[in-house]
Chains A and B, each alone.
Chain A
């Protein structure tokens, strides 16, 4: 069966520090992968998606970047965090043979101070 994991689960970072969130998928090949951010009381905001190794589409201009070095690995990064980067970050892959629903990782809670 397919599983998706992301880490770390929680992190507190000072403004201006770097960020790296990692996501891996098991049990499937060539998945479509997504990074979302969820701010308190708001809907999911699509940050990046990838349809294959090295293929990244950015939805929202910001100081974040994403990379896909391997088929089942998706990394979200920042060189210098801003206060506004605080939020709940979710990695997802598109599964669902009939519906194409998203399956989410556990989430990473980022607090920038």
Chain B
């Protein structure tokens, strides 16, 4: 079957760094997405990885290892506004997205 696993909740301190992990099992693979979702709002696109390695975009970076079925989202210099849920989604061979349940990130001052 197809499955995405990510931690349910994480807590970090303002100004610190946090890494949110995601493992996936899909029928075929056409890329890994990360989305940010604030409470009560729609998800917004953060990053896309299809090749192994690290993609950096400002304070946010995303890493992919296809051989391990593993990705992480790295958030640096955490700000209070980064408190949100972070959704991992893998695209299968039919170009459909398989979604994780999301990781709720709580930032403390």
Assuming the A-B contacts A104-B44, A106-B42, are A44 and B87 also in contact, with contact meaning beta carbons closer than 8 angstroms in the complex?
Answer: yes
| Chain A residue nearest to B44 in the complex (CB) | A104
Instruction: Please give 10 more A-B residue pairs, beta carbons under 8 A apart, in addition to A41-B101, A90-B43, A106-B42.
Output: A44-B89, A46-B97, A96-B48, A99-B48, A99-B50, A101-B33, A102-B43, A106-B41, A107-B41, A109-B40
User: Could you tell me the distance in whole angstroms from the C-beta of A86 to the nearest C-beta in chain B?
Assistant: 15
B31 close to A (CB within 8 Å): yes
C-alpha spacing A44/B41, complex, angstroms: 13
Task: Count how many chain B residues have C-beta atoms less than 8 Å from C-beta atoms of the other chain.
Answer: 22
B89 proximity list for chain A (CB < 8 A): 44
User: Could you tell me the distance in whole angstroms from the C-beta of A38 to the nearest C-beta in chain B?
Assistant: 9
Q: Which residues of B pack against A, CB within 8 Å?
A: 4, 8, 31, 33, 40-45, 48, 50, 87, 89, 91, 95-97, 99-102
> In the complex, which of the residues B31, B50, B100 contacts A43, with contact meaning CB atoms closer than 8 Å?
B100
C-alpha spacing A43/B100, complex, angstroms: 5
C-alpha spacing A104/B36, complex, angstroms: 12
B33 proximity list for chain A (CB < 8 A): 99, 101
C-alpha spacing A49/B95, complex, angstroms: 12
B95 proximity list for chain A (CB < 8 A): 100
Q: Which residues of A pack against B, CB within 8 Å?
A: 41-46, 49, 90, 96, 98-107, 109
Which 8 A-B pairs have CB atoms at the shortest separation, nearest pair first? A104-B42, A43-B99, A99-B48, A44-B99, A43-B101, A101-B45, A107-B42, A42-B101
User: Could you tell me the distance in whole angstroms from the C-beta of A62 to the nearest C-beta in chain B?
Assistant: 18
Chosen A-B contacts, 10 in total, with CB atoms closer than 8 Å, are: A43-B4, A44-B89, A45-B99, A90-B43, A96-B45, A96-B48, A100-B31, A101-B48, A102-B97, A107-B41
| Chain B residue nearest to A109 in the complex (CB) | B40
B102 proximity list for chain A (CB < 8 A): 43
The answer to whether A90 and B42 touch across the interface, beta carbons within 8 angstroms, is: yes
The answer to whether B42 and A105 touch across the interface, beta carbons within 8 angstroms, is: yes
